[in-house]
Amino acid sequence: MTYIPHSPKERDEMLKTVGVEKMSDLFDAIPEAHRYPDLDLPDALTEMEAAAELSELAQANETTKGLVSFLGAGVYNHYIPAAINHILLRGEFYTAYTPYQPEISQGTLQAIFEYQSLIANLTGMDVANASHYDGATAVAEAVNMAVAQFRGKRKKVVMSTGVHPQYRATTDTYTQFADVEFVSEEASRNTSEALIPLIDKNTALVLVQYPDFFGRICDYTKLGEAAHEAGALFCVVANPTALGMLKTPGEMGADMVVGEGQPLGISMSYGGPYLGFFTTRNKFVRKMAGRLVGESVDARGQRAFVLTLTPREQHIKRERATSNICSNQGLLALAAGVYMSLLGQTGMKHVAELCYHKAHYAAEKIAEIPGFSLTFDAKFFHEFVVTCPKPVAEINAHLLEHGILGGYDLGQDYPEMTDQMLVAVTEMNSKEEIDALVAVLSEVNHD
């Protein structure tokens, strides 16, 4: 076998040292009736054959390189600078374990410390952890953290319907056996105004998204104040690209800012692996689940970094831990760190503005097509909702015939929105592509 380096002679010497005759003697503890079962799997491929088979499977997919994509809904087609992949492919990073031995893991530790710093600065918060699995689980952990903060004395979470439907579904799964009640406003209304009356003394957390799932942006400062007046915590789910230009949730008074880090230089990869970022205020840092890297010194007087506050975690606290998380998305945190370092303040702002201008151009042009209109008149960032003259599925099938991946069909999650399409535009979409989208949509009414 390619990855098993033993020669037959070495294997026999080792068996002898162990004191057994043959391999199967090592497995006497396994019930005989169930030992060495047949495995109905295809025979082994060589590397050359495997490469060909995987290549064939890959080619059976239509990609955003071949198609023109206006699909977003939480995952965005952004440009990924070449340097990122070259760093990720360094075996010193990707084949290392969790940095539990700081003397020989300073590469990972300092990279995570820098990631924490970049995320905290981007969101306008004090401190970020080393990451969660994805945006959805980061939201669920934020709910857990708020409930734990009040030690179960507050049982209500006010969660906007403008939060990603899959994040809400994930949170429901996480909390199904907890004594927590979720309340939401009706969709399609002014989020802040609609949510404030729902907040009371039993509210542990108020949670909104920015831009929300429909792409809308508004200032949540008043909402945050209302939450704090009632003694509740305030959490904002943010898109990191938007924070390249928009006022931070930190400035709006958020106690936690969480979200999906995929737009920060991570490939779409059919849904993962991505990165859930999680930030909070200093005073809540011990309530935050997940790994944290802190600065310290080593025995040689050098500045060095180390995993800290580990007693909060499951391997020490066991059944008293508020979360069972033990990994982070280490390699993807590295990718996000390299992305933000390469772009810097100029690049992050530039990408955000490109998305903004292109999305507004697209929205303006689509709204001019007879039968199409913008559903909301709210400000938006790089995604917007279009009311269509026909069911979205029908329109998308037509777009696909022209090599265009249409927007997200909101009817899948919001039953009253069957004719509403969520269109995403990023720096990757040229004017030509947007014009092509508009041209094909214009044909829809003539079919």
Q: Interface with other proteins includes 151 (CB under 8 A)? A: yes
Tell me how many residues contact other proteins (CB under 8 A): 211
Among 213, 214, 277, 356, binds other proteins (CB under 8 A): 356
Using an 8 Å Cβ cutoff, are 232 and 203 in contact? yes
Using an 8 Å Cβ cutoff, are 126 and 288 in contact? no
Chain CA centroid to CA 316, Å: 27
Q: Interface with other proteins includes 377 (CB under 8 A)? A: no
Measured distance CA(171)–CA(15) in Å, rounded: 51
**What is the distance in angstroms between the CA of the first residue and the CA of the last residue of the chain?**
59
Least separation in angstroms between residue 432's CB and other proteins is 8
Measured distance CA(328)–CA(124) in Å, rounded: 22
Measured distance CA(306)–CA(309) in Å, rounded: 10
Among 160, 209, 328, 420, binds other proteins (CB under 8 A): 328
Nearest residue to 192 (alpha-carbon basis) of 210, 168, 180: 210
Q: Please, which residue, 347 or 391, has the CB nearer to other proteins?
A: 347
Q: Interface with other proteins includes 122 (CB under 8 A)? A: yes
Measured distance CA(436)–CA(66) in Å, rounded: 15
41 to 60, contacts with other proteins by CB under 8 A?
41-47, 50-51, 53-60
Q: Interface with other proteins includes 439 (CB under 8 A)? A: no
Listed in sequence order, the residues at least 6 apart from 301 whose beta carbon sits closer than 8 Å to its beta carbon are none
Least separation in angstroms between residue 366's CB and other proteins is 13
Q: Interface with other proteins includes 164 (CB under 8 A)? A: yes
**Residue 61 carries which side chain, given as an amino acid letter?**
N
Q: Which stretch binds other proteins (CB under 8 A): 187-195, 242-250, 382-390, 439-447?
A: 242-250
Q: Which stretch binds other proteins (CB under 8 A): 98-106, 154-162, 197-205, 227-235?
A: 98-106
Q: Is the peptide bond before 211 cis (omega within 30 degrees of 0)?
A: yes
Least separation in angstroms between residue 348's CB and other proteins is 6
Listed in sequence order, the residues at least 6 apart from 247 whose beta carbon sits closer than 8 Å to its beta carbon are 219
Nearest residue to 410 (alpha-carbon basis) of 240, 212, 130: 212
Q: Interface with other proteins includes 269 (CB under 8 A)? A: yes
Site string for other proteins, 308-327 (x = CB under 8 A): xxxxxxxxxxxxxxxxxxxx
Nearest residue to 424 (alpha-carbon basis) of 68, 169, 66, 62: 68
181 to 210, contacts with other proteins by CB under 8 A?
none
Q: Please, which residue, 180 or 198, has the CB nearer to other proteins?
A: 180
β-sheet bridge partners, residue 259? 277
Among 68, 128, 147, 264, binds other proteins (CB under 8 A): 128
25 to 44, contacts with other proteins by CB under 8 A?
26-31, 34-44
Least separation in angstroms between residue 305's CB and other proteins is 8
Least separation in angstroms between residue 417's CB and other proteins is 15
**Residue 169 carries which side chain, given as an amino acid letter?**
A
Using an 8 Å Cβ cutoff, are 356 and 332 in contact? no
Site string for other proteins, 382-421 (x = CB under 8 A): --------------x---x----x--x-------------
Least separation in angstroms between residue 181's CB and other proteins is 15
Among 273, 367, 443, 445, binds other proteins (CB under 8 A): 273
Q: Interface with other proteins includes 8 (CB under 8 A)? A: no
Measured distance CA(184)–CA(430) in Å, rounded: 37
Helix (H) or strand (E) holding 56: helix 47-59
Q: Please, which residue, 94 or 197, has the CB nearer to other proteins?
A: 94
